[in-house]
Structure 1
Amino acid sequence: MQRLDATDNAKALVRQLAETHGDLMFYQAGGCCEGTQPQCFEKGGFFPRTNDVCIGTVEGYEFWVDKDLFEYWKHAHFTLDVTDGFGAGGFSLETPLGKTFQVHYRVFAEEELEKLPPVKRNIP
Structure 2
Amino acid sequence: MYEEIPRVELTAAAAELLRRLGAVHGPLMFHQSGGCCDGSAPMCYPEGEFRTGGSDVLLAELDVAGLERPVPFWMSRSQYAVWNHTRLIVDVVPGRGSGFSLEAPEGVRFLIRSRVVGA
Query: Shorter-chain-normalised TM-score: which range?
Result: 0.7 to 0.9
1:93 aligns with 2:97: no
1:43 paired residue number: 47
1:21 aligns with 2:30: no
User: Structure 1: where are the runs of 5+ without partners?
Assistant: 111-124
2:94 paired residue number: 84
Distance 1:90 1:39 in 2: 10
What is the identity, as a one-letter code, of the residue corresponding to 1:30? G
Distance 1:36 1:57 in 2: 20
Question: Which range moves more in the overlay, 61-70 or 50-59?
Answer: 50-59
SS in 2 for 1:96: helix
Within-5 A mapping of 1:1-124: 3-58=7-62, 59=64, 60-87=70-97, 89-110=98-119
Bigger radius of gyration among the two: 1
User: Structure 2: where are the runs of 5+ without partners?
Assistant: 65-69
Deviation at 1:49, TM superposition (A): 2.5
Distance 2:99 2:116 in 1: 28
Distance 1:96 1:22 in 2: 17
Once the two structures are superposed, residues 31-66 of structure 1 have per-residue CA deviations (whole angstroms, 9 ceiling, x without a partner) of 124241000000111011314111112321100000
What is the identity, as a one-letter code, of the residue corresponding to 1:5? E
Deviation at 1:107, TM superposition (A): 0.7
Normalised by the length of structure 2, the TM-score is 0.85
What is the number of residues matched between the two proteins? 109
Normalised by the length of structure 1, the TM-score is 0.82
